[in-house]
Chains A and B, each alone.
Chain A
Amino acid sequence: MSGDVRRAMALLHKDLLTERRSKASFNAMAFFAAMVLFIFSFALGPDSPNMTAGEGQTLLQYLWPGLLWVAIFFTGVLALGRSFQVEMESGGMEALRIYPGDKKAVFAGKLAANLVTLAAMELILIPVSAILYNIDLWTKIPALMGIMFMGSLGFAAVGTFYAALTANLRARDVMLPVLVFPVLVPIVVAAVKATTLIVRGDPMGEMWTWIRIMLLIDIVLLTVCTLTFEFAIED
């Protein structure tokens, strides 16, 4: 067991080190995310004060939870698609396959690396979007972080799993979103709903229900992906 944990940590360390040195995917992601935020405001703006959705809210403020998650998913799927690229290009897939111990450790390591990447992106995306769309988040940060983590965990689990499946596919860049997004629907529903409740308040006390739904989704997806991952990286 401890051996598997060590292996997962080694993989995480390797991935983060590669990313820190090249910064390739992170830079691309940050710019893409910023671009998505701008595109939303062009598509839904101009944000004039007389155009409101609900009391004292502009259209962009009203839609912010949904837009934020769409930006996260679109940007994230690009990053997750690259999670096995370093291995594919250098022939490291073979090494991952003949790695001793359980293949679940490989999955855990890759998942952790992807989670860190997603978290780094969200740390930029949330404040920037909150400033651009003029949303006051200061008091809501702890709750928001919890929801972000749960949503990202399910997303990263499915994304890592499908990234391994599609790693050596010709049409990888098309197939990954096509396969991932249908599975993400429950997470989209739950995460957007929970984020909305955080931003707009929770008069009906629905928050706990959505948190439980998200936990359930995360557990199911993590279990299925972990158990079948060894088949996903076979050759």
Chain B
Amino acid sequence: MGNVIIFMAVAVLTVVVIGYTLALAKKPAEAAKRGAVIAGVVAAVLIVLGLYLGLVWAPTERMMGDSYRIMYIHFPSWVGTAAGYLVAFIASIAYLRTRDQGYDYVAASAAEIGLLFNATGLVTGALWGRPTWGVYWTWDPRLTTTAIMAITFAGYLVLRAFIEDPEARARVSSLVAIVGFVNVPIVYFSVRWWRTLHQVQSSPETVDSPMVWALRTMMVAFLFLFLYLLISRYMLARIRGEEELEAVRLEVASE
């Protein structure tokens, strides 16, 4: 029963965070800045708390020793990755429907932050895999899928750098984000038919409860970290975008 309540709370929190990021496109700069400060403070407090719980309070794992503690960064990174790509996907659809540049800023920022967490997850995973599985890398479905995701959204960001016209860039890159995101489950299921080595996700029942609480704290902390980074990156994208539009306007005016 307790688990159900926690699960619901996390789900609601996730939906609120994602909804907030999408609403950014319509928010005035002041409100967005205030949001960034709040999210940043909450993230900092929770990360300090979560690291204390994870590194000090939680017991050493029987099989893996202390090396398992990297999971307090590894798992939460995937929360940030999933949130980032999901927001990029939804914002891309919203852009194509509304043609509001704000959604393009949200999508680009979310893809970038998602890629950051994705890279963190891959690196911590490789570091964890070496002592636990004996290899840095294996062609497991989840590993392969996350690597392909990283390549897809790295391609997305590279593509954006090559297009000068803001509207064409927003349109083309949102299509790339949509197709790339839809492809993720297909990659997962097609690679799944290969030999699999990855541990099945531990359900809370198989993990000691201090570990669960430390992990939950870190996951929520990373969700807020994601929010903080995203709002900050979004504000930057907006300033750059407005500058770009201003330059276009000046060019048109001088002709």
Contacts and interface: CB of A to CB of B under 8 A. Distances in A.
Given A178-B158, A224-B182, A225-B179, A190 B190 contact: yes
A181 B179 CA distance: 12
B190 A165 contact: no
A235 B148 CA distance: 29
B51 interface: no
A227 B148 CA distance: 24
Contacts, number: 78
Given A185-B148, A224-B182, A231-B171, A179 B190 contact: no
A228 B92 CA distance: 12
Given A178-B155, A185-B187, A185-B191, A169 B180 contact: no
A189 B191 contact: yes
B247 interface: no
A152 to B, nearest CB: 17
Contacts of A228: 96, 175, 178-179
B186 interface: yes
Contacts of A171: 162
A142 to B, nearest CB: 24
Interface string B135-175: 00000000010001001100100110011000010011011
A176 B36 CA distance: 36
Interface string A46-70: 0000000000000000000000000
Contact of B178 (A166, A189, A224, A235): A224
Contacts of B180: 182-183
Contacts of A161: 175, 179
Residue among A189, A209, A225, A232 having the largest count of chain B Cβ atoms under 10 Å? A189
A189 to B, nearest CB: 5
A170 interface: yes
B163 to A, nearest CB: 7
B190 A224 contact: no
Contacts of A190: 190
Given A175-B162, A182-B152, A185-B148, A165 B187 contact: no
A235 B171 CA distance: 9
Interface residues of B, number: 28
A232 B175 contact: yes
Chain A binding surface, main DSSP class: helix
A183 B158 contact: no
Interface string B192-230: 011000000000000000000000000000000000000
Nearest to A220: B186
A165 B172 contact: yes
Contacts of A186: 183, 186-187, 189-191
B85 to A, nearest CB: 13
Contacts of A224: 178-179, 182
Contacts of A111: none
Interface string A194-220: 000000000000000100010011001
A181 B187 CA distance: 12
Contacts of A234: 171
B176 interface: yes
Interface string B84-108: 0000000000001000000000000
A26 to B, nearest CB: 28
B175 to A, nearest CB: 6
Contacts of B189: 186, 213
Given A169-B159, A169-B162, A178-B159, 5 more contacts: A182-B148, A213-B193, A220-B182, A231-B174, A235-B168
Interface of B: 96, 144, 148, 151-152, 155, 158-159, 162-163, 168, 171-172, 174-176, 178-180, 182-183, 186-187, 189-191, 193-194
Interchain residue pairs A-B with the least CB separation, the first 9: A186-B190, A182-B152, A178-B155, A186-B186, A182-B151, A189-B190, A171-B162, A183-B183, A179-B155
